[in-house]
Amino acid sequence: KTSSSSALGPDGLNIAQSFFKPIHNTTPPPPTTRNTKISVVGVGNVGMAIAQTILTQSLADELALVDVNPDKLRGEMLDLQHAAAFLPRTKISASVDFSSTVGSDLVIVTAGARQIVGESRLNLLQRNVSLFRKVVPPLAAASPECVLMVVSNPVDVLTYVAWKLSGFPSNRVVGSGTNLDSSRFRFLIADHLDLNAQDVQAYIVGEHGDSSVALWSSISVGGVPILSFLERQQIAYEKQTLEKIHKEVVEGAYEVIRLKGYTSWAIGYSAASLARAILRDQRSIHPVSVLAKGFYGIDGGEPFLSLPAQLGRSGVLGVTNVHLTEEEANKLRESAKTILELQTQLGI
**Of residues 286, 180, 192, the one with CA closest to residue 245:** 192
- Please indicate if the annotation marks 68 as binding a ligand: no
List of residues 6+ apart from 328 with CB closer than 8 A: 213, 215, 216, 217
- Please indicate if the annotation marks 152 as binding a ligand: yes
Q: 306 phi and psi, to 5 degrees?
A: -80, 130
Q: Which of 24, 82, 192, 208 is catalytic?
A: 208
Q: 84 phi and psi, to 5 degrees?
A: -55, -35
What is the greatest pairwise CA distance in the chain? 80
- Please indicate if the annotation marks 252 as binding a ligand: no
- Please indicate if the annotation marks 128 as binding a ligand: yes
- Please indicate if the annotation marks 45 as binding a ligand: yes
Question: Cα–Cα distance between 170 and 148 in angstroms, integer?
Answer: 10
- Please indicate if the annotation marks 43 as binding a ligand: yes
> Is 82 marked active-site?
no
**Of residues 88, 26, 86, the one with CA closest to residue 63:** 88
Q: 113 phi and psi, to 5 degrees?
A: -75, 145
- Please indicate if the annotation marks 123 as binding a ligand: no
Q: Which residues are catalytic?
A: 208
Annotated binding site for NAD(+): 42-47, 67, 128, 151-153
Annotated binding site: 42-47, 67, 128, 151-153
